[in-house]
A = this chain, B = another copy of it.
Amino acid sequence: MRKLNDLQTPYLAVDLEIFEKNLETMKSIRPGSSLRPHVKAFKSTDIAAILKQAGYSGFCCATIKELEGLAANGLGDDLLLANETLNASRLRSLVDHGVEIIVAVDSTETIDAAKDGGIRNVLIDVNVGLPRCGCDLNEVEILSGYARRKGLNIKGVMGYEGHLMFTPDRADRKRGVAEAMQVLQEAHSITGGDIISAGGTGTFDLNELATEIQAGSFLFMDTRYSTVGLPFEESLTIVSTVISVERDRKRAVCDAGVKSFATDYGKPKLEDGIIEFCSDEHSTILPTEQRGDLAFQVGDLIHLRVPHVDPTIAKHSRLACSQEGYIYGDWKVDLRGW
C-alpha cells in the first residue's frame, strides 16, 4: 500500500472518511432530486459516479466540457448548464443522442443561442442579489414569452444567492435567503415549471423554496466556510514537502505555490505555521506566534488546508484518496478546460 510520501508533491489528497461523512450528511438532509450536485466543484466523472450511486442523478455544470464529459461517461440522465452560453450549438450532438439537457438563459441572445443549438429545455435565470448573470425580475415575463414563441420548454427558474454563502450568522443568512427567494418565487409564478434551482453549500438547509440545491463544495469544504457553522468538515488538503529551512530557522519553504492552489479566498492554512507569502511553486512559512519556534525540518510532509476548493482542484489532474496516512487510489479530474 502506498503512503502519502510515496507520491510526488505537491498533490491533492482527499480524506475518504471525511468525504464519505460529508456525503452521508448531505444525503440525510437533501437526498435524491432535492440536490443537484455542482460538478464545477470537482470536475471529475469518478466523483460524479460516486454521487450517482448515492442517489444523485441530476448534475449541475458550469461549462459545456463538464456536460460533455458527464454524458460520455453515462452520467447524462439530467444535466443543467447553470451558466449562460452563446455557444449552445456545441450541445446539439448530445441532445441528438438523447442526453437530457437544460440550459440557463437570461437574455434574448442566450435564448436564441439555445434554440439555434437544438436545446429544448431552459430555466430562466433570475438575479436574486448577486450581481453576476440572471435577468431582472421585470424581464422574466418578456423573456419567458420570447422563449415560448421560440418553441422552448421553460422548466422553471434558477437564481443563485451566492452573495449569502459566507454570511457568518445563520439567522442573518436565513433572512437573506428568504428575501432572495421571494424574488425567485415571483419569477416562478410567471414562468411556472417544476424546477426552482438555487442555493449552494452555505444555504443548502436554509433555502426552503428551491426544489433543488446546487451545491458541490460540501464534499471538501473551503477553509472560508469554517466560520459559517455548517455540518461538513474539510476533507481536502494539499500535500507538500518542506524543501528548505533558513539557517536561523526563522522560515521554512515548501514546494506548493499558486500553481497548485487558488488564493482568491486567501492563503492556505496549516498546523504549526503561517504562510508568509506564496510564489508560483513555493510558499514561505513562518512559525506561529504561539509556538515561536519553527516546527519543520527539510523533507517533512505538510498538509495545507484549501481556502477555495473549486479553482484549486481545477489545477490538478488527479486527487489522491487517502486514509490514515495511506493512499487507496485516486480520482481523475477529467473535466478541466472548456
Q: Are B64 and A241 in contact (CB under 8 A)?
A: no
Q: Which residues of B contact A298 (CB under 8 A)?
A: 86, 107, 109-110
Asked if A94 lies at the interface with its beta carbon under 8 angstroms from chain B, I say: no
Using CB atoms, name the residue of chain B closest to A338. Answer: B8
Which A residues between 233 and 264 are near B, CB-CB below 8 angstroms? 241, 243-248, 251, 253, 255, 258-260, 262-264
Q: How far is the CB of A67 from chain B (nearest CB, A)?
A: 13
Q: Which residues of B contact A133 (CB under 8 A)?
A: 243-244, 253, 282
Stretch from A21-29, A135-143, A167-175 at the B interface: A135-143
Q: A8-B64, A338-B8 are in contact. Are A132 and B86 (CB under 8 A)?
A: no
- As a 0/1 sequence over residues 102 to 131 of chain A, the CB contacts with chain B under 8 angstroms (1 = contact) are 000011011000000000000000010001
**Docked pose: A251 CA to B132 CA in angstroms:** 9
Asked if A337 lies at the interface with its beta carbon under 8 angstroms from chain B, I say: yes
Q: Which residues of B contact A262 (CB under 8 A)?
A: 258
**Docked pose: A315 CA to B9 CA in angstroms:** 18
Using CB atoms, name the residue of chain B closest to A267. Answer: B264
Q: A8-B87, A107-B298 are in contact. Are A311 and B139 (CB under 8 A)?
A: no
Asked if A278 lies at the interface with its beta carbon under 8 angstroms from chain B, I say: yes
Asked if A281 lies at the interface with its beta carbon under 8 angstroms from chain B, I say: yes
Q: How far is the CB of A243 from chain B (nearest CB, A)?
A: 4
Q: How far is the CB of A93 from chain B (nearest CB, A)?
A: 15
Q: Are B86 and A299 in contact (CB under 8 A)?
A: yes
25 contacts between A and B (CB under 8 A): A9-B338, A84-B243, A84-B253, A85-B243, A86-B298, A86-B299, A107-B298, A110-B243, A110-B244, A110-B298, A131-B284, A132-B253, A136-B246, A136-B248, A138-B247, A139-B247, A162-B279, A258-B308, A258-B311, A259-B310, A259-B311, A263-B264, A264-B278, A315-B315, A316-B337
